[in-house]
Amino acid sequence: MTRDYPEKPKQVYFFGTCLIDLFYPEAGLHGIQLIEREGIAVFFPPEQSCCGQPAYNSGYDDEARSVAAAQIACFPKDIPVVVPSASCASMIREQYPSLFEGSSLEQAARSLAERTYELTEFLVEVCHIQLKDQGEPVKIVVHHSCSAQRHMRTSHQTQKLLNQLGNVAVVQQERANECCGFGGTFSVKAPEISNAMVQDKCDSLMATGAQQLVTGDCGCMMNITGAIEKRGDQLNGKHVASFIWERTQ
């Protein structure tokens, strides 16, 4: 499961992801700022949109492929592509090669997959980032997406990053490894099952008494904080990029 990481580059692309674009843009901005602070120039191609995963997971491969092809065209230069979501990063890294197998875009898809990194993975393994915590003491609970745990396998890097913050205490929730029930279109196609899962996840998160929920994936965040709000509980959610940026200013 290990991956070879390159030397710190001078330039990278940033793929914002459609969820962050529309719902959590500050997470994208903070991710970019974290990278720029490490002395790397960040390029945000404006033609980018969505990685194609929603259609792909629903079994609509042609539609997914047409959108994925448009994304491949956004990142032509052979420099790293950093993605503030393990879910979208894994779509590119794990699925793009097979999605374009046998097509004229196969090479381009492979090349893109090779140089795609999840944000915390990139900060830890490529930038060797050093963080200095300027924030107030706080108790947080961290939710690692299934993509981070079992596809990109970057959850330990997210953890490493957070562990550098001296005033942050991380509490572990029960059944931390279990899916929160988002699963993209799963949450609307199998809503009752998804709800059963997110309710259990909310229970375990609330039981920690944490003041703040931090996660690397906005899909999970939208799912969890949406459920927390609907049931009248209180737990603020933040993307790991925003959480770190705000505390290390």
Partner 1 sequence: MTTQDAGHINLNFKNRVNEALADQELRGNFRGAMDFLMQKRAAMFPDQEDLEALRKRGEQVRNRCLQQLPDLLEQLEAQCVSNGIQVHWAETAEQANNIILGIMRDHQATRMVKGKSMASEEIGLNHFLADHGIEALESDMGEYIVQLDHSTPSHIIMPAIHKNKQQIARLFHEKTPGVEYTEDVDKLIGTGREVLRQKFFEAEVGLSGVNFAVAETGTLCLVENEGNGRMSTTVPPVHIALCGIEKVVQSLADIPPLYRLLTRSATGQAITTYFNMISGPRKPDELDGPQEVHLVLLDNGRSRMYADKQLQQTLRCIRCGACMNHCPVYTRIGGHAYGSTYPGPIGQVVSPQIWGLNNAGNITQACSLNGACRDACPVNIPLPDLIRRLRHDGNNSTAEGQTAGQGQLRKPAEAVIWKFWALLNRSPLLYRLTLWSATRFRKLIPSHIGPWTRYRSAPRPASKSLHDLMKASGTQTNHPTNQP
Tell me how far apart the alpha carbons of residues 102 and 82 are, in angstroms, rounded to a whole number.
Answer: 26
Smallest separation, CB 32 to partner 1 (Å): 6
Site for partner 1 in 223-242 (CB under 8 A): 223, 226-227, 229-230
If phi > 0 it is left, if psi is from -120 to 50 it is alpha, else beta; for residue 14 that is: beta
**SS3 state at 231:** coil
What span, in angstroms and rounded, lies between the C-alpha atoms of 41 and 175? 39
Q: Binding segment for partner 1 among 6-14, 135-143, 163-171, 209-217 (CB under 8 A)?
A: 6-14
For residues 32 to 61, the per-residue mask of contacts with partner 1, x marking binding by CB under 8 A and - elsewhere, is x---x----xxxxxxxxxx-x-xxxxxxxx
Among 66, 167, 172, 236, indicate the residue that binds partner 1 (CB under 8 A).
66
Among 108, 156, 159, 186, binds partner 1 (CB under 8 A): 186
Number of Cβ atoms within 10 Å of the Cβ of 170? 16
In the complex, the smallest distance separating the C-beta of residue 138 from partner 1, rounded to whole angstroms, is 24
Strands 11-14 and 168-171: unpaired
For residues 5 and 186, which CB has a smaller minimum distance to partner 1 in the complex?
186
Quick one: which of 38, 63, 114, 133 contacts partner 1 (CB under 8 A)? 63
Q: Tell me the two tokens of residue 33.
A: 């700022």
Nearer to partner 1, 35 or 165 (CB): 35
With respect to partner 1, which residue has the nearer C-beta, 195 or 211? 195
- 174 sits in which H/E element: none
Q: Which residue has the tokens 């003041």?
A: 211
Nearest distance from residue 37's CB to partner 1, in Å?
13
Q: How many CB atoms lie within 10 A of CB 181?
A: 23
- Distance between CA 31 and CA 84 in Å, rounded? 7
Q: Is 169 in the site for partner 1 (CB under 8 A)?
A: no
Which of 156, 190, 206, 248 lies at the binding interface for partner 1 (CB under 8 A)? 190
